[in-house]
Amino acid sequence: MIQERKNIVVIGGGSGSSVALRGLKTYETDLTAIVTMFDSGGSTGILRDEFGYPPLGDIRQCLVALSDKNNVQVAALNSALDFRFDAGSSLRGHSVGNLVLAALTTVYHGVQGAIDELSSMMQLQGQVVPVTLDEAHLCARLVDGEVVRTESAIDLRGANGPGISEVFLDADVKANPRALEAIETADAILLGPGDLYTSVVPNLLVGEVSDAIRDTDVPVIYACNLMTKLGETAGYGASTFASEVVRYIGGRKLDYLLVNHAQFSSEVLDVYATEDATPVDLDNGDAEKYAHQIIVSDLAYVDGLTVRHNSEKLAEIVMTAIEKTAKNPLNTGLD
């Protein structure tokens, strides 16, 4: 009996989504990476400000993650696309991949055409889809009412000022039809991993996308952050992360909340402590209010002194969730 391929949608940003995609593509899956289009930092920010290109960095990372790594020519292309020029040079820290995408966006009269062309070159095992093709900036309203404009300003503000009350876009945008189609035909939707307010939630600010997730009958899975982030999620436990995601999908209860319980070495903790970042634990904040099932597992991979999600473990949990849901449907939808 031939196993049916599963359609899985991963929603987030660049590095977090790419971790999930690398694990999931080892299964019989049709993958769609829906990526935020409101980034404004680094090479992406320069190209956006100077030439008006859409944010390209997260797209590049997901393309590389979904490419055919067993093909020698593709592997060589990936190495070139990931190459980044020195920040002090005339090329100002641009990655080759961002520059190639920028050129293709001009040649093919839009970022979706650029993605499709590069996807063909890279023999993609899935598709990368911008959440919107419209222009907008991410903004954050702090608890004291101050508004911080642009993703990079939110991301880099550190300990400056009080916490975040809400995030929003400074313009109305329409969902990319490909993103809606992917959600509507999905067998599962994975939110994250990635920074809560600058990678995951921005996608949910596109109303049609949030509505589609709210109304779906397939499992919605949220991979909670491994560490808090100064200026954004300081002091958050898993329940607060989950409550914020639920807030931005219209109150729909998550089907699965994934929380890490791996212990980190003192050396790792000391590195993150310099940025006032601490491990995200399953706290006593009533996480069960926001998720039908909570899975607490060893989800972390430590690369030197950097903590990331374990792509293989994350993929295994997602595939198991799909299988269990097929056998015993959860109470999905508004709760």
pLDDT tens digits for range 37-73 = 998 777 777 787 777 788 888 999 999 999 987 887 8
- Per-residue pLDDT, 335: 41
Which structural domains are found in the chain, ordered by start? 6-134+176-327 (3.40.50.10680)
Residues 237-267 pLDDT 10s: 999 999 999 999 999 999 999 999 999 999 9
- Per-residue pLDDT, 3: 58
Percent of the chain with pLDDT over 90: 67
Distance, CA of 108 to CA of 236 (rounded, Å): 43
- Of 43, 4, 10, which Cα lies nearest the Cα of 27? 4
- Per-residue pLDDT, 281: 92
What's the chain's length in residues? 335
Residues 266-297 pLDDT 10s: 999 999 999 999 999 998 778 999 999 999 99
Residue 24 pLDDT greater than 90, yes or no = yes
Helix spans in 219-334 (H)? 238-248, 266-273, 311-327
By CB atoms closer than 10 A (0-12, 13-18, 19+), residue 144 is exposed
